[in-house]
Structure 1
Amino acid sequence: MKRLAYLLLSYAALTAAAGCSKDDATPTGPKEYQVEYKVISNAPASDYLSYTNESGGNTTLNNTPLPASYRFKRTMKRGDNLTILASIDGGTAASEITCAILLDGKEVKKETGRGVDAQAVPVYVIEQ
């Protein structure tokens, strides 16, 4: 009986190991992404807008008409991040600004700020 149990357990372990493949492994190398930032608001402009650009640096803009969208390709690896900050200065209590980060057409992070000095600051870290 012990021998039968041992054989069954061995078979189960081999079957489970065979079911695992390298395709299931998490990639660790860099990958090229289509990055898009979208900014919308009920205000006509953002007084300050800053985002992580295609080189990994920051692009900063002032008095940007809204809505706005920025697209580029960037090669990134696990741990790299994307950030966008947009704000409204001197709005009203009903002012609202929303920023979204999209990777390869899929929204991965979104944040909305409300109020007189509304700001939105979504941050996304690549976790392949």
Structure 2
Amino acid sequence: MKQLAYLLLSYAALVTSCSKDNDVTPSGPKEYQVEYKVTSNASTSDYLSYTNESGGNTTLSNTPLPVSYKFKRTMKQGDNLTILASIDGGTAASEITCAILLDGREVKKATGRGIDAQAVPVYVIGE
């Protein structure tokens, strides 16, 4: 499960870092207030990974829910934000939701359901 999650994050970073020759000229860098919110009807996320303030990944395990992470990050068009959270060994009624907010506005949200539920929203600046 964790290997699948890591592969998904790697794939998302690869896909969002590709560009086309006819892309609009990227806008200059801007500082954003980034917030990730994770909610669930489960009490913990067995695996949680997100793009952090330096553009790298922060990975956590057995994280109590709900949880929120806030930081400032300077980004330009084409940069991405990704969060992945999962529940291991839940029930068919288990649910986990991740949201990405920029400057207080929700820009992407995903919900996973089921025994091994996972949510993986990805947002690309300028999308």
Corresponding residue for residue 70 of structure 2: 71
Query: Rg larger in 1 or in 2?
Result: 1
RMSD, aligned α-carbons? 1.2
Deviation per CA, 1:59-111: give whole Å up to 9, x if none. 00000000000000000000000000000000000000000000000000000
Give the deviation of 1:27 after TM superposition: 7.0
Aligned to 1:20: none
Identity of aligned residues (%): 87
* Paired residue type of 2:78: G
What code does the residue aligned with 2:61 have?
Answer: N
Superposition misfits of 4+ residues, deviation over 6 angstroms: none
**Structure 1 residues 31-59: Cα deviation after superposition (integer angstroms, max 9, x where no partner):** 00000000000000000000000000000
Structure 2 spans left out of the alignment, 5+ residues: 1-24
TM-score normalised per structure 2? 0.79
The residue number in structure 1 matching 2:40 is 41
Distance 2:39 2:88 in 1: 15
Question: 1:91 is matched with which residue?
Answer: 90
Query: How many Å apart are 1:127 and its aligned residue?
Result: 0.3
Gaps of 5+ in 1: 1-25
Kindly indicate whether the alpha-carbon contact (under 8 Å) linking 2:83 and 2:120 is maintained by their aligned counterparts in 1. yes
Whether the aligned pair in 1 keeps the contact of 2:39 and 2:65 (CA below 8 Å) is yes
Distance 1:54 1:87 in 2: 21
**Structure 2 counterparts to residues 98-109 of structure 1, below 5 A:** 98-109=97-108
**1:114 equivalent in structure 2:** 113
Q: Which amino acid aligns with 2:58?
A: T
How high is the TM-score relative to the length of structure 1? 0.79
